[in-house]
Amino acid sequence: DACASRGDLLRGARFEGRPFAADETGECAVSISAVRSPLASADGAAVDTGAQVHYSLERTPVVGLLTPDRGTARGGTEVIVAGARLDPIGAGGGVDAVEVTLNGYTCAPTASAASSVTCVTGPRDGAIAAPSTRVWIAGRGWALRGADSLASPWAYMDLWSDPLSWLDSELPADGDSVVLPEGQALLLDEDSPTLFLFHISGLVEFDRKDLALNATYIWVAGGTLRVGTEARPFEQHATITLHGDRWNTIELPFIGSKMIAVTNLGGLFGACHVHAGAEVAPASDPCPVRSVGHLDLHGKAHHSWTHIVETADAGATTLRLAEPVAWPVGGRVLVTQSARGQREEIRRVAALEEGGLVLELDEPLANAHLGTWHWHDDAHAPSDLRAAVALLDRTVKVQGDDASARAGNAFQFGAHVGAFHGGVLRVENVEFFRTGQAANLGRYNFHWHHLAMAGRTVDVIDKAYIHNCSIHDTFQRAVVCHGTNYCNIQHNVAYRAKGHNFFTEEGPEKFALIEHNLAVAAVPHPLLLGDDINAAGFWLPGFTGWHRHNLASACPRGWKLSKQAGPGLLQTDFSFLNNSAHLCGFGWRLFPPHQPPTPNTFGTFTAFRCGTCMFYYSSGNINHIDHRFLECTRAIHLNHYMNGLHDEPFFTDAVLVGNIDPDATSAAPGTGLAVHSPKDNEHWLVSGMHVTNYHDTPVLFGCFETACTMRYERTTWVNSSHRTLLKPSPLTGIFHDMDGTLTGFPNGWVTYDEEFNHFDDGVCTWDDPRFPEGMVCGFADGSVRMRRLYVHGQEPWQLDNKLLEVVSDAGNDTVVFDTKKLYGWAVPAIANRTYDMRVADPNDFQQLSWQYGTHPYVFDAHGYLCVPEEAAALNETCHWTQLNRTRVQPVIERLTLHLNYSDWRSGFDGTAGEALQYDPDMDNHTFGSWAHKKWEFQCDLYANLSNASLEECSGRYWDEHSLFLKFELDQQPDLGQVGGRLTSVISEKEAPRSMTQSFTARECPASGCWRPRAPGADEGGWQRWSDPEVWACAKLTEGATIRECRPRQAR
């Protein structure tokens, strides 16, 4: 019904097939399905054509191994092409019925049989072409290429050892420079002399035998340097040694000296400037070049590192491995340490047994090495604590000369390898030794430099990598990704590399894959960045890249994030999953302060026996899921926190283990306080925390150097009796138990024991052994709220660092002054109570402020909970971390505060609420409303006060006190000052966002103090005090015995 004619219905067809073996025959039916017209309302039914396709390879020729698989570009090499069904069919036959081309150049047949064709190569008189083998047999057609042919392609190569390969038939000698131009291919079939410069714009390949290449500069400029291939790794021994020293070897622009530098030929013009500062061209539209440089180094394939699966005791000579290996007998292996105070150990392979799963060592181990997982007593997966074992030796080796390791001009001036502004690096199973150049920035062991900034991302994405390499005893870093996207860094081992090891340099780098790498014993370096003195296994300039399945062992820092100015500040796509740090100084360290612009999620992280397992100077916007901290000196230390009340938890399902020995009765030696919460944020949230085997070692400590509120939910406690560390100085803040898993009831509160909270209605208890020196407050119905009452802004300065005396109906106590962060006092106040405060100093406050919690904390429902039905109504979905969580609902929170003073106050100015002439009432008045009164018992000491003054001193509240009262009190200076009380309230009514009230005291009315007029010429000059005519005196009020005297107006 779509159209009147059927002639227009077929618009396109897709042909589907299947692979089949060379000796297979058969048949299949042909059908057309899902016929569709653009005008049709639905797909048509399948159409059976009734046709059959019969296929058979019994007549198709197949080519296999080429012998030899390379020959001189001058031609004349006889090549035997092995295969099957290579004899022609039909009239004629013979070599005239056969055609062979190798890499696009004719190879003239000289003999033909069913199993082979013999041909003689012609000269390669054009460019180096991609490998290809094409054979045509008359009567049979084009031959298929078998596996042997694909694994061993033909190459036109001239021999290094052949004098005819060289200009004037003169082979290079020590000190010579060799320039290999475009279109030339050279097979290194003997050890090279020690060259000065080896400039490669053509192709150089190592022959399949033990060889050495020596030079000061190796510059692959649009050409190719190849040692093995991905398909056929180099199983012999190839050693590339770079020579030179720090003072006499001249650096070439950009690429340096004593190096293997890879660049492209051409390009780098216009927008493709080498230091454009950002990616100037995507991979889909790269900056054009004439030819692309390639470095292909492919050593014999090996597992670079694995774990042991059984603990090896001290004295053991056998290691049982997690994966089978084929490491060479005599090869050096590295075994990482498992205990504090120990070192990694180097041994050699004596033998392999059980298919490579058992490794026999040449010498016994000096220390025990763990081969176990720690199984937790809840639903968490076990934590991997196993020591790692790595192979350090490789068949292909890049190294600096011997002088690099000796005192002298070349000391710690090793080789470096890199691609600069373009070029392809494909490096696997290579050993790097004595590489990197100390104190010479940018001359790293292995380096991608500014490929994205030069518009050559195409040279990296899906092409370049460094895999399965051993990088040890280097003088500057291990692997660096700088100004380049899509760096691929997998399965490598770095051991005793100076400075940060795996290093993403500047910040604009995107999509770097750093996966399953092992960094061991990173060496501090005082001559690089400032923080290289505490070298990290893995270093980042911002939240960028993918870090997965890596292990840092015995490094000063496992991971270090140090924000860099520029594009790195905006990076916010950092994938962090299943990484581990064992016995590092810091497992994770972020400094200076930084948080990603949008939320990031970090997956599993295991920190074992580190000093501080995770330290953030200041951050937020990160949800750490399934982080495990085992036997840490300090598990978590966060200085500052940037999250808001409704952001994701900083930790979800954290695991804390004080001792991995299930039979222990105390935390392990060296294990200390677990969680040190941030010092300046009320919104810290941990959702899920499993604590095991801390015993009597305290676990939670709050608010480093200050006081704050810390929220916890879904906590479990096993063999951990001392849950918090609470101190009066510095004040440790308030722990908010959202769901009852910390205290035993929802909205429970834990803080330091202060007698002013010993209320007799049972709201608080102070004898719970789980919280030594602390008190637990709350009711089973969850109705109680405790907030930080932050008293600050004190003037004069003499009040600084004094105690704050706090009194309530329950008792009195003192609160210490916080000099570190708050620069004031933090009072744990229970809502709907009254507190009386005074600074313990003879000076009275001239200015003083207080803040009650935070506005969202008091007035918003909070907790990282998502209700699926509510989310669906907004066309949203709940993340699994938001299910089965707690939501805290707001309640009415009010407070009455008394601030006491001892010297004269006429009035106070406040920033919130209103001044009242009667007693402020927290149930009826707005937030911050205030009034003040004089102490009646102090006024009673004064004689002969007027009736008005007696009224002001009657103990009732006023918004102002008069100067008349002050005058009368001043007439009796032998009596003490009359002090008073300023009372203010906290309520939900008109509460400002700041939740703050600030008071300034006045000695005079708002209109100002009375001042005598200054004498002047218009007043008739000076008057004498002794002249009775000068004075006008009168009683203040009826019944007063004290007069007020004022000078008369000058005559």
Contact in structure between 773 and 801 (CB atoms under 8 Å): no
Half-sphere exposure of 333 (CA within 13 A, CB side): 35
**Cα separation, 49 vs 283, whole angstroms:** 45
Q: Counting every residue, how long is the chain?
A: 1051
**Cα separation, 893 vs 335, whole angstroms:** 60
Q: Which residues contact 379 (CB under 8 A, 6 or more apart)?
A: none
**Cα separation, 434 vs 476, whole angstroms:** 9
DSSP secondary structure of 170-226:
----TT--EEE-TT-EEEE-S---EEEEEEESSEEEE-SS-EEEEEEEEEEESSEEE
Tokens at 544, concatenated = 């960028």
The enclosing H or E element of 967 equals helix 963-970
Residue 776 is classified by DSSP as E
Identity of the residue numbered 53: V
| Angle (nearest 5°) at CA 715 between 714 and 717 | 150
**Cα separation, 312 vs 369, whole angstroms:** 5
Phi and psi angles of residue 433, each rounded to the nearest 5 degrees, phi first: -145, 135
Q: Which residues contact 623 (CB under 8 A, 6 or more apart)?
A: 599, 600, 601, 602, 648, 649, 650, 651, 652, 881
700: β partners:
675, 724
Comparing CA positions, the residue from 446, 436, 448, 453 lying closest to residue 469 is 446
Burial of 309 (0-12, 13-18, 19+ CB in 10 A): middle
E runs forming strands in 562-633? 572-577, 579-582, 586-590, 600-602, 605-608, 612-619, 622-625, 627-630
Neighbours of 411 (CB within 10 A): 15
Comparing CA positions, the residue from 26, 131, 23, 150 lying closest to residue 84 is 23
Q: Are strands 211-221 and 259-263 parallel, antiparallel or unpaired?
A: parallel
E runs forming strands in 578-737? 579-582, 586-590, 600-602, 605-608, 612-619, 622-625, 627-630, 634-641, 651-657, 675-676, 684-695, 700-701, 709-720, 724-725, 734-737
Tokens at 657, concatenated = 């283990």
**Cα separation, 234 vs 87, whole angstroms:** 35
Confidence at residue 22, expressed as pLDDT on a 0 to 100 scale: 54
Identity of the residue numbered 1010: W
**Cα separation, 707 vs 730, whole angstroms:** 8
Q: Which residues contact 85 (CB under 8 A, 6 or more apart)?
A: 59, 60, 61, 62, 114, 137, 140
Number of H helices, E strands in the chain: 6, 79
Tokens at 596, concatenated = 């990603």
**Measured torsion, CA atoms of residues 538, 541, 543, 549, in degrees rounded to the nearest 10:** -10
Confidence at residue 36, expressed as pLDDT on a 0 to 100 scale: 52
3-state secondary structure 835-898: EEEEECCCCCCCEEEEEECCHHHHHCCECCCCCHHHHHHCCCCCCHHHCCCCCECCCCCCEEEE
- Mark 111-141 as b/e (b = at least 16 C-beta within 10 Å): ebeeebbbbbbbebeeebeebebebebbebe
CA 386 remoteness from chain centre: 23
Comparing CA positions, the residue from 461, 496, 473 lying closest to residue 481 is 461
The enclosing H or E element of 981 equals strand 980-986
862: β partners:
888
Half-sphere exposure of 346 (CA within 13 A, CB side): 10
Confidence at residue 883, expressed as pLDDT on a 0 to 100 scale: 78
958: left (phi over 0), alpha (psi -120 to 50) or beta: beta
**Cα separation, 432 vs 365, whole angstroms:** 26
Mean pLDDT by 10 residues, the chain (1051 residues): 43 56 62 55 59 70 92 95 91 85 96 94 90 92 83 89 94 97 95 98 96 98 96 96 96 95 82 63 85 97 97 98 97 98 97 98 98 85 96 98 96 97 97 97 96 93 97 98 96 98 94 97 93 96 95 98 87 93 97 89 96 92 94 91 86 96 95 87 89 96 82 95 84 89 96 96 95 96 95 96 96 91 92 97 94 93 84 79 86 96 92 95 96 94 90 93 88 90 96 97 84 59 84 78 76 45
Query: The tokens 């999250």 sit on which residue?
Result: 643
| Angle (nearest 5°) at CA 1009 between 1004 and 1013 | 175
**Cα separation, 811 vs 825, whole angstroms:** 18
Confidence at residue 9, expressed as pLDDT on a 0 to 100 scale: 43
